[in-house]
Every structure is written in C-alpha cells, then in structure tokens.
Amino acid sequence: MKFSFSGEQEEFRSNLRRLLADVSPPKEVRRLMETDAGWERDGWRKLNETLGLTALRIPEAYGGHGFGFGELGIVLEEMGRALLCAPYFATAVLATGAIINAGTEAQKQALLPDIALGETIATLACAEDDGLWEAAATTLMATPSGSGYRLDGHKSFVLDGHTADTIVVLARAPGSSGETGLSFFTVRGDASRLERRLLKTMDPTRKLARLAFSGVEAALLGEEGAAAAPFGRTIIEAAVCLANEMVGGAERLREDALAYAKMRMQFGRQIASFQSMKHTAADMLLDVELAKSAAYYAAAALDDGDADVAATASLAKACASDTYMQTAIHAIQIHGGIGFTWDNDTHLWFKRAKSSEVLFGDASYHREQMMRHWAA
Amino acid sequence: MSEVNEATVRAEVRAWLEANWDPELGLIEWRNRLAESGWGAPHWPSAWHGRDLPAGLVPVVEEEFKRIGAVGVAKAGIRVLAAATILTHGTDMQKEKFLRRSLTGEDTWCQLFSEPGSGSDVAGAVTRADLRGNHWVINGQKVWTTSAHKADWGLLLARTDWDKPKHAGLSYFILDMKQPGVTVHPLKQMNGHASFNQVFITDAVVPPEMLVGEVGQGWAVTTTTLMHERRGADGLRTWAQASDRPGRCYEEERAEIKTTMEPYKWYPQRAGRVDLIVQRAKQTGRFEDPVVRQEIAKVLIMSKAAEWTARRARAAQEQGRPQGPEGSLGKLASSYIARAAARVHTQVTGANALLTGEDSPMGGVIAEILVSVPATSIAGGTDEIQHNIIAERVLSMPKEPSVDTGKPFRDVPRNTVR
C-alpha cells in the first residue's frame, strides 16, 4: 500500500488547485447555485477539456486516460475544496462506474468515449423515495417490450438527474425481490414519458432530482438480472470518492476558519491567541488529517484490489461524514455571528458538509456496514 | 565515491552481516562490532559509529538485520534520547565517553526534567546548580523518573541563574547517579505499578566537563531531548521484542529486554488495547448490540486512521520530504483513542468492570486498561500542551501573552514545595 503521493500527482494537484481557485471562486459558486441547472455546459466543457477530467479513470481502450482512484481522489478533493458546481461526480464517478462495472464490451465502446470527451453528461438513478442506497430497496419495474424494456416507477435523490443526457437506472424484473432480478438500464435524459423534477435541496451546490417513469423506453446495460454486484461495487467507489471530495472541503473550512481567527481582534488581541481557539484548531487539524488518511487509504485500496475494500470504503465515508460536519460546526463557531450570515461563505461549505454527510448513507450507516464486512 | 542508493546499501550491509553476524558472540562484543562498522546506527555521522546514511535508507538496513536475524544496538530506554542529545550538543569528550556505550547498552540513563512544582511548565525547574570551586553542586527534587533506581547517568535540567528570565537561567548536565547525594524512591501510581521514581538530590556533584552546551543554554538542549521523545511517541514505536532463538547473543538480549521493559509492562493497557475490543465483545455477547457496535466502530475507525496518518508521516520522511502536519498529531490521537477504547471496554465488560485482579476478565488486563488509560493524556506532555504545540508550531497561532518570561525568574510566582 502506498502512503504518499508521487511528485507527478502532487504537481497535478497543485495545478488543479490553482485552476479551480480561478474558475470557481465563491462568487461563481453563488452565481451557479442560484441557477436551476446548477452548472453551465460551456464553462464545464472548457474546464473538462483543459484537464481531461471525465476521461481520467476511463480505460484507454474507451478513449480515457486509464488513471486510478488515487488520481480521481485528488480531483474530487480539489473540487470539494473549491466547491465546484459541475456534474462531475454524477458523470465520472456514478455513471462511469456503473458502465465500467456492469457494461458489456460493446456498451463500454458505445458509451464511454463521449463521456471521456465531456460530450455526454450522465448520472446514476438508484435510490427511491425512501432514500436508501441499497440494491434490495429497488422497486422501479422493468418490463420487456419489443426489443427493449419499459420502465415504470420513480427514482429520487438523483445527482444532476434533471440535466443529465444519459441516465443509468437500477430497476427490477416483475415478480423479483431482494438482490435478484436487478438490472441496469440506460435512458435518455429527454426520453418521453420521463418526468424530471428538480428537488429543493438544502445544499444548493449539489442538485438532486426526482424522476418519474411511466413506460419509459430503456436499453439494458450489462447482464440481465445481475446488477446487484456491479451496483454494490459502484456504491463502494462512490463512498470512497465522496470521502475524498469531503476531506477537500473540510480542509478548506479549517484553513479559512484559522485565517479568520488570526485576523479577528477581540479584547485587544487576535482571537487565535486564546487557548480555547487553539485547542479547537488543533482538534480540527487532527480530525481532518485522520479523515484524509482514511480517504487516501480507501482510494489506494480500490486501486490495489484490496479484499477488505468494502469495509475500508465505509470506514473512510463514516470518518469523512463526522469530520466534515464537525469541522463545519467549528468553523461557524470560530467565525462567531458573521459565520451565521448569508454573506459569509462558511455556510456554503457547511451545507455541502451536510449533504455529503447523508449522501450514500450517513456515518452510523457506514459504521454498521464496516462492522458487518470487517468483524463478522 | 560510488552512489549510495537502496541497492548498494542493501548489498553492502548484507555482505557485512553475512561475514560478521554470529549468534554465539557476547551481546556487548557484537554491539561493539556494530559500533565499529557503523551499521548499528547507520544514520549517525561516520566520525561517531555511523555511516552518514540518509534517514530514508535506514529501513533497508533494518530489513537486512531482520532477514538474517541479527541483534541490533540497544534501542530501548532513555539512552536513545541521551545519545541523540549528546550527538547534537555534546563535546567530543562526552561523545567519546557515552555514545559507544549507549549503543552497546552498557550504560543505563534516566531523564531528570520534571519536578513536583513544574510538570507541563518544565522550564520552571527550581533544582539548583551552583558553581562551588571547580564543581557544580546540585540540590533539588525530580519526579516521574523512569529507571532512576537502575540508572548510571541522568540527563539533568537545573537552574544556574535566578536573575535571568526563566528559560535563560537553565543549564543541562550529565549527573552521575551513583553518588551519595542522589536518593531514589519509587512512586506508586493509581494502577498499583511503580514505574517511576522520585529523585532527591542533596549536594550532589557534577564536574564542569559534564555540562552539555553552554551555561544558560539548558533549554535549547532540553528541547532536543523532548523532540526526540515525542518523535518516539507517535504510535509507531517498536516494542522491544526478544527473539526466542538459541544463541548466546539472543539470550543476553532477552535478559536485557526483560530488565529494560519492566517499567513499561502496563503500557499496552495504557494505550487502551484496541486489539482486544472485537474479540472481547464477541465473548461477552455485546457484539450483537447495535449501540455497542457503533461505539466499537468509532474506536476502530479512529485507530486505523491514526495508524495510516503515522504511515503517511513516515512515508514523507522516508522520501526526504518535509513532514506535513500529520507528523505532530500522533500523540494527541493516541490519547483520544485510549480514552474511547477504555469507554468501550467498560460497555463490553458490563458488571465485571467492577472487579480487578484475578476476579476480573483476562486475569486483570481489562481492569488494568481502565485504571491505566488516564496516564496517556498526561505523560510525555499533556493533551493541553500538545494542543498548544500543534496550534503554535504547526498552525502558527500566536502565543498567549506571557506573565513569566520577561522578568528575573526569582520574581516569578511559583509553587511552594513542601
């Protein structure tokens, strides 16, 4: 297992950080989060082309660069830090993951090159109104129809579901239950009889949609009835990627709060000189560094094909969930009254911390998952 | 000179070990060979029993020792801190007298810093060193002194000037412990062990050549010692493990480790024994309780993340890159983990946590965890001091306004002892 980034990786990170600071300052985050789409195609296409971001982990055979989760983790950490408003997680982690994990050779050839180029925005629709990211909870029904399938039911909490060009949908065969009878399907975003509604999200930087399917035409992705395993794998990858995104945001909050404490004067001295502030700041550093170690380790475990990766992924997600939220709470406290205002930027990351805490399962859920995988 | 890299170092140390290692040698004789060859402390300067090897290549040497099963130099105890301090600040005479014997393990050392009146505030020491004639005369009391009853030498922090501000009035000495003015009493702890001592010093004598650094520079020298102590407390400290192989050298090392590690035998319990939690929870049936499982998971997560953080720090060090903040966090993390682990052990143990000794689970090990963990957040720098160090040195937060550093030490309010 590697415990450090290479020189090339560090250089990639610092270039990316510089660029994202430029294209995604808080002012731009605020502008985009007020839009319904939550991102803009021209801006995103340009950024993606410059750095080849959606191509990063797609194998070279499908028009990608063939990098691993170590590099993907770096990208997500920096995007989390900059609070970039873009359909990256949905496209490059969720949809790409589902296609790589489940798709046939021909389907990968057909779907991945356009994602790598940044032409196709894609997402994965799995959870439903009960908000569970577990295969067995699926109720959306897929009925054979002609040469294809028709989907009936609903999906919710779909990342960028209202703007995606292609939607990978997890659905089940009539009469099936549990983890059997599940298949992936692809659906066009503009398909008829698909109703997409933007949900009002507490975190405006992460757009979610509810999708209602009433006989929507769909194409099978991968093997029929065998989606449970590739879905499980995709969610493990998503948990690891999100953990990496989260530690980037947590570190940004920590740094901003520290900078504020050094600048803010009360009682004739910098508030950073009070031990109560210092002890909080030291604990924030400890929390964030531990969560970073777990997130990096989990990404390396994915790349290494580690047998314990499910437990490690849950460990990293649980650790990041608690840490990001706790860091956000401390950051607002350190800012005092100004930290509770709309004009101060802290709440943007606070809300991202909250949405990340819950997405794909909160800390308690992942602690239980970890115990099941690890200590059973 | 040929290039020094992993391959050349590995080949060289392997050839040397194959030609020289003999398990039937006496321990001291073998370690003297190590000191002569420089392979015992390869990162030390070549002038002083080392080979000027970059720190990143030391693990290669350790691997080769392990591969052939060769015994290494004496690594346990305060002698490592003494050697590191003398290497940095000592005179050639002191290096000549002490360094080789620290590697062979012939000398035993103790650290005489803490006093009853100065714990976290080590620089507030009031043990005095007065120059009388040609000798320093020492009077005062030290505490928390591991192995003082066995030590040949003590690393002594004492006040030589009461008119200077507190840090500027300190000097650092090497004290001969085997002299009439030094009396050692064991100090019994809340867990029943007595790993530490109180040291009473009355008119003990130190010759002038046993001053380390200049008069008044004692704090700088002390900082070096403490830095090495903290570095050793990052959670990756290798517990001295005796080999069970036959051979005179192994036998003598086993005896040495037994003596050296005696004061530390409860230290695994002090750290909270995270390794026992799952097994114990399964034994007691609490593993099935979802509330307890959550608490167990929290401890395991913190413990794993801290382990990986320490490995990140070590990886950076091995690559010769500057250590990030992750290097300063190990002690604080250990302390949080120990406390959380003790809480979970109690949950898992239930009513049996009321008992101790042979009446309690695992012959007293669980009970010993519960009464040993409070030491973790105090020993070697309290959590409060660790927080300040991280905040001030890593995060560059300003110090609190000081009330004791600007004036002569004799005017600083302090504890009255006895």
Q: Which residues of B touch A367 (CB under 8 A)?
A: 293-294, 297-298, 301
How would residue A351 be classed by pLDDT, with cut points 50, 70 and 90?
very high
Give a three-class secondary structure readout of chain A.
Answer: CCCCCCHHHHHHHHHHHHHHHHHCCHHHHHHHHCCCCCCCHHHHHHHHHHHCCCCCCCCHHHCCCCCCHHHHHHHHHHHHHHCCCCCHHHHHHHHHHHHHHHCCHHHHHHHHHHHHHCCCCEEEECCCCCCCCCHHHCCCEEEEECCEEEEEEEEEEEECCCCCCEEEEEEECCCCCCCCCEEEEEEECCCCCEEEEECCCCCCCCCEEEEEEEEEEEEEECCCCECHHHHHHHHHHHHHHHHHHHHHHHHHHHHHHHHHHHHCEECCEEHHHCHHHHHHHHHHHHHHHHHHHHHHHHHHHHHHCCCCHHHHHHHHHHHHHHHHHHHHHHHHHHHHHHHHCCCCCHHHHHHHHHHHHHCCCCHHHHHHHHHHHHCC
Q: Given this model, what pLDDT does residue A326 score?
A: 98
pLDDT (mean) for B103-125: 94
What CA dihedral angle connects B14, B18, B22 and B23, to 10 degrees?
A: 60
Average pLDDT over residues A59-83: 98
Q: Which one is catalytic: B12, B229, B295, B368?
A: B229
A232: distance to nearest CA of chain B, Å?
A: 21
Could you report the per-residue pLDDT of A239-252, keeping only the tens digit for each? 999 999 999 999 99
pLDDT above 60: residue A1? yes
Nearest CB among B294, B311, B401 relative to A367 is that of B294
What value does the mean pLDDT of chain A take?
97
Of B48, B51, B44, residue with least CA distance to B12: B51
Encode pLDDT of A151-199 as tens digits. Answer: 999 999 999 999 999 999 999 999 999 999 999 999 999 999 999 999 9
B417 pLDDT tier (thresholds 50, 70, 90): low
Query: For the residues A12-30, what does the mean pLDDT come to?
Result: 97
Q: Which residue has the higher pLDDT, B16 or B195?
A: B16
Quick one: pLDDT at residue B234? 45
Confidence (pLDDT) at B236: 37
Span B217-227, pLDDT tens digits: 999 999 999 88
List of residues 6+ apart from B86 with CB closer than 8 A = B94, B95, B98, B99, B102, B212
Residue A365: how many other CB atoms lie within 10 Å? 18
Q: Distance (Å, rounded) from C-alpha B39 to C-alpha B23?
A: 17
Model pLDDT, residue B3: 76
The C-alpha of A274 sits at a distance from chain B's nearest C-alpha, in angstroms, of 6
Q: What are the tokens at B291?
A: 């509330």
Structural domains of chain B, ranges and CATH numbers in brackets? 79-231 (2.40.110.10), 266-379 (1.20.140)
Would the pLDDT of A275 be above 90?
A: yes
Instruction: Return the pLDDT at B2.
Output: 58
Q: Which residues of A touch B319 (CB under 8 A)?
A: 4
Asked whether residue A263 carries a pLDDT value surpassing 50, the answer given is yes
Is B401–A293 a contact, with Cβ atoms under 8 angstroms apart?
Answer: no
pLDDT of B1 above 50: no
Interface A-B, measured as beta-carbon pairs within 8 A, has a size of 125
Taking phi over 0 as left and psi of -120 to 50 as alpha, with beta for the rest, A215 belongs to left
What was the pLDDT predicted at B323? Answer: 64
Chain A residue nearest residue B328, CA to CA? A286
The answer to whether residue B402 neighbours chain A at the CB level (below 8 Å) is no
Mark yes or no for CB contact A374/B306 under 8 Å.
no
**Range B114-138 average pLDDT:** 95
- pLDDT tens figures, A293-323: 999 999 999 999 999 999 999 999 999 999 9
Average pLDDT score over residue span B143-168: 95
pLDDT of residue A58 exceeding 60: yes
Calculate the average pLDDT of chain B: 92
Task: Report CB contact under 8 Å: B312, A262.
Answer: no
The minimal CB distance from A297 to the residues B308, B314, B392 is found for B308
Q: What is the pTM of this model?
A: 0.90
Segment A201-254, tens digit of pLDDT: 999 999 999 999 999 999 999 999 999 999 999 999 999 999 999 999 999 999
Any chain A CB within 8 A of the CB of B391?
yes
Nearest CA in chain B to A370: B297
Contact residues on chain B for A277, CB-CB shorter than 8 A: 391, 397
User: pLDDT per residue over B315-353, tens digit each?
Assistant: 887 777 766 666 679 889 999 999 999 999 999 999 999
A72-116 confidence digits (pLDDT tens): 999 999 999 999 999 999 999 999 999 999 999 999 999 999 999
Which B residues, 214 through 243, put their C-beta within 8 Å of a C-beta on chain A?
A: none
> What mean pLDDT comes out for the span B272-280?
96
Among B287, B300, B395, the residue with its CB nearest the CB of A258 is B395
Chain-chain contact of B309 with A293 (C-beta, under 8 angstroms):
yes
Chain A residues with CB-CB distance to B under 8 A?
2-4, 258, 261-262, 269-270, 272-275, 277-279, 281-283, 285-286, 289-294, 296-297, 315, 318-319, 364, 367-368, 370-371, 374-375
Annotation says B229 is catalytic: yes
CA-atom Rg of chain B in angstroms? 23
Contacts of A375 in chain B (CB under 8 A): 278, 287, 296, 300
pLDDT at A292 over 60: yes
Ordered domains of chain A (ranges, CATH): 7-120 (1.10.540.10), 123-226 (2.40.110.10), 229-374 (1.20.140.10)
- Calculate mean pLDDT across residues B63-72: 94
Residue numbers in B near A272 (CB within 8 A)? 391, 397-398
